[in-house]
Amino acid sequence: MVIVMSHVLSVENINKRFAGVNALIDVNFDLLSGEIHAVVGENGAGKSTLMNVIMGLVKPDSGEIFVNGNNVKVNSPLEAHTLGIGLVPQELNLVPLISVAENIFLGREQRVGKTFHINNKKMQAEAKQLMESIGVTIDVKSQVLNLSVAYQQLVQIARALALGIEILILDEPTASLTAQERNSLFSVLQNLKNDGMAIIFISHRMEEIEMIADRVSIMRDGKLLKTAEMKDISVDEIIRHMVGREVVKERVERESSCSSDVLLKVDKLTRSGEFSDISFELKQGEILGFAGLVGAGRTELVRSIYGVTKPNSGDIYWKGEKIQISSTDNAIKLGMGYVPEERRRFGIFPLLSVSDNITMPILNTLRKGVAIAKKKQLAVTEDSISKMSIRTPSPNQEIRYLSGGNQQKVIIARWLAKNVQLLILDEPTRGIDVNAKSEIGKIIRELADKGLSIIFISSELEEVISIADRIMVMHEGVFKGFVLPQETSQEDIMKRALS
């Protein structure tokens, strides 16, 4: 069947300002049926604001939206759904304790006749059909919490399809997926595209843009700078438009080597079902990278070291002394800080200011009687903003309005204000743009040069190689060996992990 491509969505001259800041400036964007159109840009470039305008979550100050050639007003996500537009957000909004079928039809439950009784059999049959239509065989009666992130992503897509959508917006859909899971998702997207669906694909991963997109639109500082066919543009050119300059990817050697003093020693640490018999040493001022596929047990390991969970056996030594870490409070008092993988859920206090987020662990030292000494708090905050190059209009800005990269800098600044000796970074560049990644990498190496010990977890092997002094490879909870970044490659690490 030949798909005739036509404009299903157009936005013309869209403008939006927030608190005096231009979030969107005369943006013109179009989407064709049967195409996957990537939208890229640094955090803060305007991608999310543009999608929120399309979904009716944000009202533009000026400009027009056309769906299938008709000039429309989109005032809410419900109106967007009615127009055939659906969004799968980066942070999935499924209900974990109910079934796949119930999630797919949440808010639109099938009823038995005109009664209030829910027709579970009908919902399950239709949910099964929807999942199979995208090539997925799954028990639609199972609870969502029992599914992998990849399957949850597909359930979210099925929910959108149940609405009868023709335009699908995917925001960083692969951020938590393994390479195999990503490829399965891409297969589903190709099938949907072949059936004529129009897909907007937002990602910071350039290799994925190359793999999946037909066209790419590049945004910077609220402007849509360029739209091009993927076959006509290189990744280097895309990045150059995104950041306004060349970004050089290379390993930058440390200014100083790490100390010979061992700060942390882990000996045969085991937690049933998560990791087994893990041993390593971390020296003062060393960046120890943890590499491995999703599910390798890296996060589970550092959570046990940090006192979030308890290991079943094994020992932990701090500066040569055997210790018991029974809680995160114990870990913090020792001098550990932890930047979690899921920044939005566990890393930030979204409704609090940048200042409150930075000074949260040291509020007791900032007290004046029963109140917080605001001048002291502001001084600490301004010093952190300066040292970490945090881009915020004000220390009093709610952190939720900052870009992902700047939120991450705030979390790191929080632990630096606490003067920790060990900083655990779990996927610190997940969901942030290429320029912010470069900045975070530079900050990590500068902190290590000053003597801070760092455990650095990343699923992006290129990133681990470029930042770490030494790399520990794990696979399915098992230690697979150490490698030196200057003597290895991504392929070598994968071979070691899977051997």
Can you tell me which residue has the tokens 């870490």?
325
Whether 185 and 238 map to the same domain: the answer is yes
Whether 439 and 339 map to the same domain: the answer is yes
How confident is the model at residue 371, as a pLDDT?
Answer: 81
Amino acid at site 59 = K
Does position 454 have pLDDT exceeding 90, yes or no? yes
For residues 66 and 206, the model is more confident at 66
Q: Does residue 248 lie within any of the structural domains?
A: no
The domain of 198 spans 7-243
**Per-residue pLDDT tens for 368-399?**
777 888 889 999 999 999 988 898 989 999 99
Q: Does residue 447 lie within any of the structural domains?
A: yes
Report the share of the chain in percent with pLDDT over 70.
Answer: 95
Question: 33, 43, 349: which is closest to 171 by C-alpha?
Answer: 43
Whether 354 and 467 map to the same domain: the answer is yes
Q: What b/e sequence results for 374-407 when a residue is b if at least 16 CB atoms lie within 10 Å of its CB, and e otherwise?
A: eeebeebbeebbeebebebeebebbbebbbbbbb
How confident is the model at residue 245, as a pLDDT?
Answer: 53
CA atoms within a 13 Å half-sphere pointing along the CA-CB vector of 265: 12
Whether 65 and 205 map to the same domain: the answer is yes
How confident is the model at residue 2, as a pLDDT?
Answer: 44
For residues 240 and 61, the model is more confident at 61
How confident is the model at residue 89, as a pLDDT?
Answer: 84
The per-residue DSSP string of 213-248 comes to -SEEEEEETTEEEEEEEGGG--HHHHHHHHHSS---
Does position 1 have pLDDT exceeding 50, yes or no? no
- Look at residues 178, 208, 243 and tell me which one is the last residue of a structural domain: 243
Whether 268 and 234 map to the same domain: the answer is no
Mean pLDDT of the region 266-286: 95
How confident is the model at residue 255, as a pLDDT?
Answer: 58
Does position 137 have pLDDT exceeding 60, yes or no? yes
Q: Does residue 319 lie within any of the structural domains?
A: yes
Q: Does residue 252 lie within any of the structural domains?
A: no
Whether 303 and 417 map to the same domain: the answer is yes
Q: Does residue 255 lie within any of the structural domains?
A: no
Whether 199 and 309 map to the same domain: the answer is no
How confident is the model at residue 3, as a pLDDT?
Answer: 47
Number of domains the chain contains: 2
Whether 275 and 231 map to the same domain: the answer is no
Q: Does residue 256 lie within any of the structural domains?
A: no
Pairing of strands 85-88, 167-171: parallel
Whether 233 and 270 map to the same domain: the answer is no
Find the CATH number of the domain harbouring 207. 3.40.50.300
Question: Are residues 92 and 171 in contact, defined by beta-carbon separation less than 8 angstroms?
Answer: no
Q: Does residue 425 lie within any of the structural domains?
A: yes
Backbone CA torsion sign across 334, 339, 342, 344 = positive
For the chain, the average pLDDT equals 88
Whether 278 and 236 map to the same domain: the answer is no
Whether 289 and 228 map to the same domain: the answer is no
How confident is the model at residue 179, as a pLDDT?
Answer: 73
How confident is the model at residue 77, as a pLDDT?
Answer: 92
How confident is the model at residue 50, as a pLDDT?
Answer: 95
Tell me which of 433-442, 454-463, 482-491 is least confident. Answer: 433-442
Does position 208 have pLDDT exceeding 60, yes or no? yes
Does position 72 have pLDDT exceeding 90, yes or no? yes
Does position 494 have pLDDT exceeding 90, yes or no? no
Q: Does residue 74 lie within any of the structural domains?
A: yes
Mean pLDDT of the region 203-231: 92
Whether 192 and 277 map to the same domain: the answer is no
